[in-house]
Amino acid sequence: MGTLKKMKLVLAALTFYAVVQVLNLAGILNGYFMVIINRSLIAVIFAVSLNLINGITGQFSLGHMGFAAVGAYVSGTLTTLFFHLNLNHPFDNLGFLAAILLGGLMASLAGFLIGFPSLRLKGDYLAIVTLGFGEIIRTILNNISYVGGPRGLLGIPKFSNFTVIFLFALATIVLIRNLVQSSIGRSMLSIRENELASELVGVDTTRYKVLGFVVGAFFAGIGGGLLAHLLQIAHPTQYGFYASALILIMVYVGGIGSLTGSIIAAFSLTFLTEGLRVGIDWLRDTVGVPIGTEWTMVIYAVLLILIMLFKTEGLMGMREAKILIIKEKEG
């Protein structure tokens, strides 16, 4: 049963991949669409990994993009400054993969460090500490001239493409899904529901809380590395509070604790941003309403507030799409 279900997810994902790829090659979907797809997939990586920390383990991170920064800078430094990897060299693609994974590992080290305060702090305090962590990372990056300081890390080779990003996004979903639906995941959930009680029944809360941060940060680092190799630049300001808040919006709109929700929200909000861009331009240029794309963020802020007020559990609540469930719940 399990294998079949697992296969179903992968099959569905591959179908998605094939459809997009064919439509793109046929010229029906243009490059703009592909950029949005790529950004959506990277957003999926960020949102699903943040959901592991905030939703599943019940911790609270406001500095998720800080982990992404670590991944982006570590992998970018390796490919660009250390080894001067070349796109046209097939062997260098392996080097790129290694750099991305190493970036993820370094990010998870940062997650390990930031996971420690979570042993003592709860909820809102932890939120502020993670926010501070993100800001510290940014300040440090701004002041290391080796990686460009405020100029950013430049000239990163463009190793990321739709295929690479798709595979990493799929791997992120599958691995986090498997983790969440294992006994480890159930322990994590128990911490969220009631930390004291789960400690009393013998769950090693310390271990699972830190593990949530480590794994979440690992994938955020991967996402950061992919983004840097897509944009060919990593810049300290990309990883500030507002970038983290945007991921947070995705997680909460989708449903805290629901991976399906995060995936849907990552896609729909990324597409909504572009839809709003096109829509607002149309309103301004054709209808003549004097508004600009700066209203997009106003709309998102309102959306977040409305979701919290009227559908606190998000679009999906705690539910998962069947395709993402390994075993049917018992009892």
Which residue's CB is nearer to other proteins, number 175 or number 325? 325
Which residue's CB is nearer to other proteins, number 95 or number 132? 132
The candidate with the shortest Cα–Cα distance to 35, out of 171, 158, 218, is 158
What is the DSSP-derived secondary structure letter of residue 284? I
Residues 6+ apart with CB under 8 A from 273: 296
Which residue's CB is nearer to other proteins, number 18 or number 154? 154
Q: Which one of 13, 35, 174, 325 is in contact with other proteins (CB under 8 A)?
A: 35
- What residues from 137 to 176 belong to the interface with other proteins (CB under 8 A)? 139-140, 142-143, 149-152, 154-155, 158
Helix (H), strand (E) at residue 153: strand 153-154
Select from 170-178, 183-191, 201-209, 319-327 the region that touches other proteins (CB under 8 A): 319-327
Residue keyed to tokens 């890390």: 153
Q: Which one of 3, 31, 146, 328 is in contact with other proteins (CB under 8 A)?
A: 31
Residues 6+ apart with CB under 8 A from 117: 126, 129
Select from 4-12, 98-106, 169-177, 315-323 the region that touches other proteins (CB under 8 A): 315-323
- What residues from 197 to 236 belong to the interface with other proteins (CB under 8 A)? 227, 230-233, 235-236
Buried b (16+ CB within 10 A) or exposed e, 89-103: eeebeebbbebbbbb
Which residue's CB is nearer to other proteins, number 95 or number 117? 117
Q: How far is the CB of 324 from other proteins (least distance, A)?
A: 12
Residue keyed to tokens 């899904």: 177
Q: How far is the CB of 218 from other proteins (least distance, A)?
A: 21
- What residues from 291 to 310 belong to the interface with other proteins (CB under 8 A)? 291-298, 300-302, 304-305, 308-309
Handedness of CA 103, 106, 112, 114 (dihedral sign): negative
Binding residue count for other proteins, defined by CB under 8 A: 87
Q: How far is the CB of 86 from other proteins (least distance, A)?
A: 15
- What residues from 113 to 132 belong to the interface with other proteins (CB under 8 A)? 117, 120-125, 127-129, 131-132
- What residues from 76 to 105 belong to the interface with other proteins (CB under 8 A)? none
- Judge whether 203 and 54 are in contact, CB under 8 Å: no
In the chain, which residue ranges form alpha helices assigned H by DSSP?
A: 2-25, 31-50, 64-76, 90-115, 117-120, 123-142, 162-180, 183-193, 195-200, 205-231, 241-254, 259-282, 295-310
- Please report whether residue 24 would count as binding other proteins according to CB under 8 A: no
Q: Which one of 191, 214, 248, 266 is in contact with other proteins (CB under 8 A)?
A: 248
